[in-house]
Amino acid sequence: RWQSSSLPQLDHIDRSDEEGGGEIDWDNLGFGLTPTDYMYVMRCSAEDGGGFARGELRRYGNIELSPSSGVLNYAQGLFEGMKAYRRPEQQAGGYTLFRPEENARRMQHGAARMCMPAPSVEQFVDAVKQTVLANKRWVPPQGKGALYLRPLLMGSGPILGLAPAPEYTFLVYAAPVGNYFKEGLAPINLVVDDEFHRAMPGGTGGVKTIANYAPVLRAQMDAKSKGFTDVLYLDSVHKRYLEEVSSCNVFVVKGGVVATPATRGTILPGITRKSVIELAGDRGYKVEERLVSIDDLIDADEVFCTGTAVVVAPVSTVTYRGQRHEFRTGPDTLSQELYTTLTSIQMGVAEDSKGWTVAV
């Protein structure tokens, strides 16, 4: 059982709202790491007879790990990605989180797969809120980006033989971010990798384990060296059905139909993906979660990617076996509409009729 933190002692924390202390160029944020002031740490140890150290805010900085920790040796780790936006002053100010309980539940689901205990939904959301408040001077001004939150869950205890670690650490840190891709909001160019795969049936592609991410670096670096933005993966069995891009889900649009790969264990169940499915349905599109073949993609009018970091990114070209396929981008596209609708809700500038945002 995780022990919840009691209300944090924030007296020692600089809670001034002065944005970034004047140290940061808000217009050119990108997705680089800007260290912030505080992180939240909560430990969970079986040795304490089910008692767990309480969570607390600490100065952001390095953590100590045993060389034989489960996470370092056997990749027993999960992460989440979330964003806090600064609300407009005229709407009482403050900050908003987007569907944070979904991230908490996804971490619980992943923890079960990776044999780890997980914080409760309340503990997770409380930790994220505390991290936002402690770092509030790092939440970018309206329209300039968001404070990205990175909850981690790891086997921090020592273990030599292959087994679950005897101790776990839940940690949340934050960094102000702008656009994920170097293209900014401009359309991206993907390449389909025919050799490498991201996940396989029965594997861990459907949970947000750290172990899913290093394996895509080889293909990603090769793609970038050839001028592509990122890699689009196909399924590892038929080598024919779309899975996802290294860091985001993928959608194809043809006429009034929007299709995205169904989550059957190899694809990450994205929270932006789930939200976009609902928003596209509200707009009268028929939304299909199914097998989406490479031929469906080639035949599509429009292709876009979704993710917390990526938001909704239009795809202008996909290169498959040396052939470059082009898709519609620009002002009259569904991806543009979805981007505007979604970010308006997330930033608190449009009414949140779905109850997706949580005030901090």
Are the CB atoms for 357 and 98 separated by under 8 Å? yes
Part in contact with ligand COI (CB under 6 A); list of ranges 21-29, 130-138, 301-309, 321-329:
301-309
Quote the tokens at residue 335: 């991806």
What track of x and - describes contact with ligand COI for positions 62 through 81 (by CB under 6 A)? -------------------x
Torsion sign, CA atoms 98, 184, 212, 327: positive
205: Cα separation from own chain's centroid: 14
As annotated, the active-site residues are: 208
Nearest distance from C-beta of residue 307 to ligand COI, angstroms = 4
Region 309-348 residues binding ligand COI, contact defined as CB under 6 A: 309-310
Quote the tokens at residue 28: 């050119």
What residues pair up with 97 in beta bridges, in sequence order?
84, 358
Nearest distance from C-beta of residue 205 to ligand COI, angstroms = 14
Quote the tokens at residue 181: 């891709």
Residue 145 in the binding site for ligand COI (CB under 6 A): no
In the complex with ligand COI, which residue's Cβ is closer, 81 or 145? 81
Nearest distance from C-beta of residue 216 to ligand COI, angstroms = 9
Quote the tokens at residue 212: 């899913």
HSE (CB half, 13 Å, CA atoms) of 139? 26
Cα(232)–Cα(190) distance, rounded to whole angstroms? 6
In the complex with ligand COI, which residue's Cβ is closer, 69 or 308? 308
Cα(255)–Cα(310) distance, rounded to whole angstroms? 24
Whole-number CA gyration radius for the chain: 21
Quote the tokens at residue 69: 């920790």
In the complex with ligand COI, which residue's Cβ is closer, 223 or 309? 309
Cα(216)–Cα(205) distance, rounded to whole angstroms? 12
Q: Which of 142, 187, 232 is nearest to 336 (CA)?
A: 187
Beta-carbon neighbour count of residue 28 at 10 Å?
A: 12
Residue 247 in the binding site for ligand COI (CB under 6 A): yes
Quote the tokens at residue 236: 């590892």
Part in contact with ligand COI (CB under 6 A); list of ranges 93-101, 287-295, 302-310, 341-349:
302-310
**Number of residues forming the site for ligand COI (CB under 6 A):** 6
Q: Which of 247, 242, 140 is nearest to 188 (CA)?
A: 247
In the complex with ligand COI, which residue's Cβ is closer, 152 or 294? 152
Exactly one of 307, 312, 313, 314 binds ligand COI (CB under 6 A); that residue is 307
What track of x and - describes contact with ligand COI for positions 202 through 241 (by CB under 6 A)? ----------------------------------------
Part in contact with ligand COI (CB under 6 A); list of ranges 36-44, 65-73, 139-147, 305-313:
305-313
Residue 308 in the binding site for ligand COI (CB under 6 A): yes
Residue 108 in the binding site for ligand COI (CB under 6 A): no
Residue 306 in the binding site for ligand COI (CB under 6 A): no
In the complex with ligand COI, which residue's Cβ is closer, 106 or 325? 106
Are the CB atoms for 325 and 263 separated by under 8 Å? no
In the complex with ligand COI, which residue's Cβ is closer, 294 or 347? 347
Please give the residue ranges that form the binding site for ligand COI (CB under 6 A).
Answer: 81, 247, 307-310
